[in-house]
Amino acid sequence: MFLSGYLLIGMALAAVLNAFFSVLPGYLIGVPVWISALLLWPRLKSAQRKQTAVLLLTGAPLLLFGTVYGDDPQYLLKALEANYLVLAMLVGVSFLRLVAMQGVHSDEQLPRGRTALWQTLLGAHLIGSVINISSVLIVGDRLSARQPLQPVQALVLLRSFSICAFWSPFFAAMGLTLVSAPGAELKTLVLFGLPVALAGLLFSMWEVARAPAVEQARGYPMHLKALWMPLVLAVLVVICHEIWPAISVLTLVTLISILFAVSWLLLRQKRQGGRRLLNHIHEGLPGLAGEVMLFLAAAVLAAGVASSLSAFDLALAPEHYGALEACITLLVLILLAFAGMHPVTSVVLVGSILAPSVSDPNLLGLTMLMGWALGVGLSPLSGVQLSLRARYSIPAVQLMRLNRLYAPVMLLVCWAMLWLFTRI
């Protein structure tokens, strides 16, 4: 099984080298992804297998039809690429968990009260912006070590993670958005995504302050040693993007994540750090089986939809994509999330349909990020909500009740930002 780990790290390194030297066509870099997917299939959970199978069985016939009748092999090659840029980023970011956990695990007394929960919300948000859903599990396990997780603590974990999708360059949402909305710029998406994220955090802090028995709820002790890494990495990405503006942000995030984690572990832990790196390749990377299969299947579906539309010469996108159309798209993305569609699938579908005719890819990209963030935070079928329910026994009804005010408020905030974006 460890062979799949070497295939994935090899793919990530090949993606980085290809970005700088352009030595290989993209579909060849995607080949290790397909091989690793075959090896990782037995590791998938039943629900993951069903979801992947539905996507593949829907996308493959469409791709075959579009390739044969459209007489254009470009979409088949696009499917073979298997979203390798986004997967390379996920592989790179996964190494950061080895560093982040050093500053998070602690046996000290947990603080209580409103301020402690506010600190937990902001700290877990910064950590989550780099290591994704791992932050929810790390902090959640610590909070629930001696007593069941309380609703207000579940609120903190849910919001700290889902709000990351509005702006974080290290989130899969940003990676897939930059691929699905060609021409979208990281600076612009972060510039307009951060105020929305801030609004979500401030509103969540207000909700936390009003929660019953908040003064008795335990928070997580956040220190500089737990928060320094996200800040340093964000600065490195900005600096490297200025030095190499032609290199995609996804590639820079992949490169910086791997170099940072490898350097930190080897310099600080030496031989033990080397063993941890090897163990991550052998065990940690194969643990990405669900993400690998989902992104691969989504690539097939997106290529199938695009090739079929091209074969029929259909244009489903509106002639003008402005604020109103963006607001409608956002609502559709949220509804698809409630229907159980993973944001990976809905984003690539929207991209395959709208991207070819959208004049401002930043507007489309901003809409995708908002749809991802709100869909993950609100849908009872999202991965983070399923994790909270399964791991900490938080009822789905309880999570929906926690979002009863957040949903309409943040939808209005997002709509307002989309209108503002088109006016600036």
Give the CA angle between residues 104, 107, 110 to the nearest 5°: 85
Q: Band the pLDDT of 369: cuts 50, 70, 90.
A: very high
- What confidence score (pLDDT) does residue 368 get? 96
Average pLDDT estimate for 252-260: 89
* Per-residue pLDDT at 105 exceeds 60: no
Task: Say what the pLDDT of residue 84 is.
Answer: 87
Position 108 scores a pLDDT of 57
Report the pLDDT value the prediction gives residue 233, as an integer from 0 to 100: 81
Q: Does 313 have pLDDT greater than 70?
A: no
Point out the least confidently predicted range of 32-36, 245-249, 255-259, 413-417: 245-249
Asked, for residue 306, whether it belongs to a domain, the answer is no
Q: Do 210 and 129 form a contact (C-beta atoms < 8 A)?
A: no
Rounded to the nearest 10 degrees, how much is the dihedral formed by the CA atoms of 100, 101, 106, 111?
A: 50
The mean pLDDT of the chain is 85
Give the count of beta carbons closer than 10 Å to the beta carbon of residue 328: 12
344 located within any domain: yes
**Does residue 18 lie within any of the structural domains?**
no
Helix (H, G, I), strand (E, B) or coil at 116: helix
Residue identified by tokens 């956002």 is 330
Residue 73 covered by a domain: no
Q: What is the mean pLDDT of residues 83-101?
A: 81
Instruction: Give the list of residues 6+ apart from residue 139 with CB closer than 8 angstroms, or none.
Output: 104, 120, 124, 127, 157, 160, 220
Cα separation, 424 vs 422, in Å, equals 6
- The answer to whether residue 10 is domain-embedded is no
> How high is the pLDDT of residue 366?
97
**What pLDDT is stored for residue 67 in this prediction?**
83
Dihedral of alpha carbons 181, 44, 169, 5, sign: negative
In the chain, pLDDT over 70 holds for what percent of residues?
93
pLDDT value for 289? 86
Flag whether pLDDT at 192 surpasses 90: yes
Do the domain assignments include residue 207? yes
Q: 143-157, 164-178, 299-313: which range is least confident on average? A: 299-313
Residue 231's pLDDT is what? 76
Query: Coil, strand or helix: which one is 221?
Result: coil
366 or 171, which is more confident? Answer: 366
- Most confident option among 151-160, 177-186, 236-245, 408-417: 408-417
pLDDT at 315: 61
The better pLDDT of the pair 147, 32 is held by 32
pLDDT for residue 18 is more than 60: yes
Torsion angle (degrees, nearest 10) of CA 405, 408, 414, 419: -140
Report if residue 23 sits inside a domain. Answer: no
User: Mean pLDDT lowest for which of 82-96, 191-205, 226-240, 241-255?
Assistant: 226-240
Q: Whole-prediction pTM value?
A: 0.78
Distances (CA, A) of 347 to 101, 149, 155: 30, 32, 25
| % pLDDT > 90, the chain | 31
Residue 417 pLDDT > 80, yes or no? yes
What are 126's two structure tokens? Answer: 């910064």
**Rounded Cα gap, residues 50 and 176, in angstroms:** 22
Q: Residue 124 has which token pair? A: 């877990």
- pLDDT digits 0-9 by tens, 109-123: 777 888 889 988 988
Range of the domain at 229: 82-284+315-423
Predicted confidence at residue 371, as pLDDT, reads 95
72 within domain boundaries: no
37-84 residue pLDDT tens: 999 998 888 878 887 888 889 888 988 888 887 666 788 888 888 878
CB 364 within 8 A of CB 355: yes
Counted domains in the chain: 1
- The pLDDT of 378-383, averaged and rounded, is 81
| Strand, coil or helix: 174 | helix
Q: Quote the pLDDT of residue 75.
A: 80
